[in-house]
């Protein structure tokens, strides 16, 4: 059976914290959570000992040849942002991209992908503090400074460390299903899934108050029951806030509108129902809070670029195949 190969690029001076993000998601045996057993490879321009920026040293067991048959290539950070890529690395990334590997740039890793010429004419993001530098160095890249991650099909880029975790979970969701991603998030005690379009930087964090605690509790109640009726007014009342104050606080703390966030929660529930049950589209739509199969199809298509029926067929078909076979990423 084919085992999915994940190649993560390490380099001299890397932050162990950044390197740990893909290691946490893909580096351990998660077969008990419904995920395949990954062939996880940490590689570098050369095999051997590298130094980290934390005073630790890491033995890198693989060279760039590990990218040649990888299904996913992840660059978890980068240094020397203005320097050109070494030719062997540029060539290795180009080969991986041409043969269809998913290329992932977490945080400053976007700079390496851009330097390899793979982001020309495409949309991408990076850590909010470096977006202007990315624009200046690579004016042919459409930089979105406001989002957590950008899924452009065969290339995915993300903002900082926490957004890198969101991005990796997004890849798990897209390739192995919403239920497997949810189990993984619970297992490693990650916060609930955040959509890529949420803001990566909140200018003024909400202060801790009694109302803030009620605000969090109100959102947790919606997360637990997304299929039930949740109006803006009813959730604002549960949070102990006026509609206007709740809307303002929600935008500041979550980075999107309440309606958009609620739709995302319902689409995720619909994904899990389609993956795990044989319920009709009408029942899935009702239990996920969409009311009708037509509404479900509209929101599903807008979020995942596919229909609920096609999603179920693809997921069911792949569930019976080899471990390494994966769903195509949604945009």
- What is the torsional sign of CA 162, 163, 167, 173? positive
Question: Tokens for 31?
Answer: 């077969």
- Apex CA 194: angle with CA 296 and CA 138, to 5°? 110
Q: What is the tens place of the pLDDT at every residue in 318-328? A: 554 434 433 33
Neighbour tally for 167: CB within 10 Å: 29
Reported as a pLDDT band with limits 50, 70 and 90, residue 331 is very low
pLDDT at 276: 87
Q: What is the tens place of the pLDDT at every residue in 140-181? A: 999 998 888 999 999 999 998 788 999 999 999 889 888 888
pLDDT above 90: percentage of residues in the chain: 66
Say if CB 102 and CB 72 are below 8 A apart.
Answer: yes
Q: Of all helices (H) and strands (E), which one includes residue 9?
A: strand 5-9
Listed in sequence order, the DSSP H helices in 99-177 are: 109-115, 131-137, 161-176
DSSP 8-state symbol, 33:
G
Say if CB 300 and CB 267 are below 8 A apart.
Answer: yes
Answer yes or no: is pLDDT of 100 > 90: yes
0.85 exceeded by pTM: no
Q: What is the tens place of the pLDDT at every residue in 212-247? A: 589 989 999 998 899 999 999 999 999 999 999 999
């Amino acid at each position: 059976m084919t085992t999915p190969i994940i190649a993560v690029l390490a380099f001299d001076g890397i932050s162990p914290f950044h390197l740990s993000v893909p290691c946490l998601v893909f580096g351990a045996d998660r077969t008990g959570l419904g995920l395949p057993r990954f062939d996880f490879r940490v590689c570098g321009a050369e095999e051997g000992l590298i130094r980290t920026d934390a005073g630790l040293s890491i033995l890198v067991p693989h060279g760039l040849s590990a990218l040649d048959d990888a299904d996913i290539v992840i660059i978890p950070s980068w240094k020397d942002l203005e320097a050109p890529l070494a030719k062997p690395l540029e060539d290795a990334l180009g080969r991986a991209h041409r043969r269809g590997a998913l290329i992932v740039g977490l945080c400053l890793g976007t700079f390496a992908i851009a330097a390899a010429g793979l982001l020309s004419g495409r949309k991408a993001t990076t850590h909010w503090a470096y977006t202007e530098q990315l624009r200046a160095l690579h004016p042919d890249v459409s930089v979105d400074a406001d989002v957590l991650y950008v899924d452009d099909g065969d290339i995915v880029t993300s903002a900082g460390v926490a957004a890198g975790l969101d991005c990796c979970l997004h890849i798990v969701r897209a390739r192995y299903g919403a239920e497997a991603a949810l189990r993984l998030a619970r297992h490693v005690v990650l916060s609930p899934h955040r959509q890529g379009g949420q803001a990566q930087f909140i200018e003024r964090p909400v202060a801790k108050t009694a109302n803030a605690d009620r605000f969090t509790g109100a959102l947790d109640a919606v997360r637990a029951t997304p299929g039930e009726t949740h109006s803006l007014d009813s959730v604002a009342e549960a949070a102990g806030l006026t509609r206007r104050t709740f809307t303002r606080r929600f935008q500041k703390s979550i980075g999107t509108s309440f309606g958009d966030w609620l739709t995302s929660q319902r689409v995720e529930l619909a994904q899990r129902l389609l993956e795990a049950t044989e319920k009709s589209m009408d029942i899935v739509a009702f239990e996920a809070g969409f009311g009708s199969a037509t509404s479900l199809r509209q929101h599903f298509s807008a979020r995942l670029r596919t229909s609920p029926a096609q999603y179920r067929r693809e997921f069911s078909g792949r569930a019976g195949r080899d471990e390494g076979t994966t769903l195509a990423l949604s945009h």
